Amino acid sequence: MKALVYDGPREVHVKDVPDARIENPTDVLVKITSTNICGSDLHMYEGRTDLEPGMVLGHENLGIVAEVGNAVVKVSPGDRVCLPFNIGCGFCRNCEEGLTAFCLTVHPDPKMAGAAFGFAGMGPFWGGQAEYLRVPFGDFNCLRLPEDAQDKETDYVMLSDIFPTGWHCTRLADMQPGDSMVVYGAGPVGLMAAYSAMIQGASKVMIVDRHPDRLRLAEEIGVVPIDDSKGDPVEQVLEQTNGKGADKGCECVGYQAHDPQGHEDAAMTMNRLVDSVRFTGHIGVVGIFLPQDQNGPDELERNGKIAFDMGKFWFKGQKIGTGQANVKHYNRQLRDLIHEDRAKPSWIISHELPLAEAESGYQHFDARDDGWTKVVLHP
Ligand code: NAD
Ligand code: ZN
């Protein structure tokens, strides 16, 4: 089959690889029809992880069930399904509690919790930027889609990651109706966090970035754009909130935070969030801070440990929630919002490309070229 393979830093190629196939009786084989490029793919693409060449990337996947293992009972060939980026077993303590991003059995290393498709450090599972994807524990992980699946395919594919991840960030921040919210990062994840806050009845949502195209998109759905190339973003948030700061905050950038001039400081957005959120406010963090042993050798000290101002955070009595999104915990409800036309996350898509053009999609998205907000690949 054809698949997008990681061959080394900024080297990804569409090539022939052995076909994905049923390996265990609980597996489902899915013929992929839509698969997105994610900001998380860029950590691997840029060579910031210890990913071995040869991995098929792609963790935001949707398709049609092609074949099922003998033990699969809930899905059948022909069903249209969306797959969470995390792979859960469904029966461990964490999966039972809805914490599927921290499944205790799927990752082959018993010290680890959590597994994912096409991801450095998250197990050996190939991704779905390919013609076919093997889905372990298919009964648990496949989300069946309703009869409008084909018409709304580019909405439903956002259920694999960024829509639930943005939503998760607002839940980590314990956002309540009427709260004001500030989101750092207007990439696909930050835009989905802002969108989720709007849907849940925030009184005011602000988003900080410096890319005019991304800020414009946010403004189109009623979010207040804050351009940090035009002045201190904290001051701008305080001006918007009577000097008090936002009730809640979302971190959707991660360790690659930098200023508009390109100077990297992995703690920048965390410290700015503490300053932008009011005393006793809550902060959700979904931007990735790679643990040290997953970074390339030059990055060891820089990315895992950050210069976070614990003193100010403590003094303000704030709370923080972190981690990968437990996609399965949210995607049924978010699917139903899409089905009932109460949410339409495809507004974020800038490009749809055939899988054969994936390399160019990676280049443009990695460069954050003007207008390249979210790329969907169709194998
Ligand atoms: P992205 O790289 O496209 O977007 C990041 C945005 O942050 C960019 O628009 C960039 O200009 C902006 N930015 C950089 N420095 C900034 C600063 N100092 N202040 C404000 N904005 C700044 O990526 P994305 O796809 O939106 O993903 C965002 C993060 O979320 C990544 O770290 C990604 O790995 C992570 N992620 C986490 C989960 C999860 O489950 N927790 C899931 C998906 C993605
Ligand atoms: Zn993703």
- What dihedral do alpha carbons 14, 16, 17, 23 form, nearest 10°? 110
**Ligand 1 pocket check: which of 40, 162, 223, 274 to mutate, most ligand atoms within 8 Å of Cβ?**
40
Same domain, 151 and 293: no
Residue ending a domain, among 322, 354, 369, is 322
Nearest alpha carbon, ligand 1 atom 30: 287
- Expressed in angstroms and rounded, the spacing between residue 161 Cα and the centre of ligand 2 is 5
- Expressed in angstroms and rounded, the spacing between residue 109 Cα and the centre of ligand 1 is 28
Residue ending a domain, among 276, 305, 322, is 322
Domain count, the chain: 2
Mark residue 7 as left, alpha or beta (left: phi above 0; alpha: psi -120 to 50; beta: remaining).
alpha
Same domain, 352 and 259: no
Same domain, 86 and 186: no
Element (DSSP H or E) covering residue 236: helix 233-240
Same domain, 263 and 349: no
Same domain, 215 and 292: yes
Nearest ligand (C-alpha, residue 365): 1
Half-sphere exposure (Cβ direction) of 82: Cα atoms closer than 13 Å: 27
Same domain, 152 and 24: yes
What distance in Å separates the CA atoms of residue 185 and residue 347, rounded to the nearest whole number? 17
Minimum-distance ligand 1 atom for the alpha carbon of 38: 25
Same domain, 193 and 218: yes
Q: Where in 86-244 does DSSP place strands (E)?
A: 132-135, 143-144, 180-184, 204-209, 224-227
Q: Complex ipTM, two decimals?
A: 0.99
Nearest ligand (C-alpha, residue 59): 2
Residue ending a domain, among 322, 337, 361, is 322
From the number of C-beta atoms within 10 Å of its C-beta (0-12, 13-18, 19+), residue 101 rates as buried
Determine the 3-state secondary structure of 184 from DSSP: strand
Going by the DSSP 8-state scheme, the letter that residue 280 receives in this structure is E
Sole residue written with tokens 């109706």:
177
What's 305's domain CATH number?
Answer: 3.40.50.720
> What is the pLDDT, as a whole number, of residue 71?
98
Judge if the beta carbon of residue 159 lies within 6 A of ligand 1. no
Phi, psi of 186 (to 5 degrees): -110, 35
Same domain, 41 and 155: yes
Judge if the beta carbon of residue 287 lies within 6 A of ligand 1. yes
> What is the pLDDT, as a whole number, of residue 291?
72
**Ligand 1 pocket check: which of 122, 165, 209 to mutate, most ligand atoms within 8 Å of Cβ?**
209
* pLDDT tens, the chain, 379 aa long: 999 999 999 999 999 999 999 999 999 999 999 999 999 999 999 998 889 999 999 999 999 999 999 999 999 999 999 999 999 999 999 999 999 999 999 999 998 999 999 999 999 999 999 999 999 999 999 999 999 999 999 999 999 999 999 999 999 999 999 999 999 999 999 999 999 999 999 999 999 999 999 999 999 999 999 999 999 999 999 999 999 999 999 999 999 999 999 998 999 999 999 999 999 999 999 999 887 655 554 554 456 788 999 999 999 999 999 999 999 999 999 999 999 999 999 999 999 999 999 999 999 999 999 999 999 999 9
- Expressed in angstroms and rounded, the spacing between residue 254 Cα and the centre of ligand 1 is 6
What distance in Å separates the CA atoms of residue 362 and residue 245, rounded to the nearest whole number? 36
What distance in Å separates the CA atoms of residue 194 and residue 222, rounded to the nearest whole number? 10
What's 44's domain CATH number?
Answer: 3.90.180.10
What distance in Å separates the CA atoms of residue 114 and residue 99, rounded to the nearest whole number? 9
Give the structural domain span for 314: 162-322
Same domain, 306 and 355: no
What distance in Å separates the CA atoms of residue 42 and residue 2, rounded to the nearest whole number? 21
Same domain, 178 and 80: no
Q: Where in 88-179 does DSSP place strands (E)?
A: 132-135, 143-144
Please state, as a whole number, how many other Cβ atoms lie within 10 Å of the Cβ of residue 23: 11
Please state, as a whole number, how many other Cβ atoms lie within 10 Å of the Cβ of residue 148: 14
Residues 6+ apart with CB under 8 A from 60: 35, 36, 37, 38, 85, 128, 157, 158, 160, 161, 162
Same domain, 146 and 197: no
Give residue 363's identity as a one-letter amino acid code: Q
Same domain, 129 and 239: no
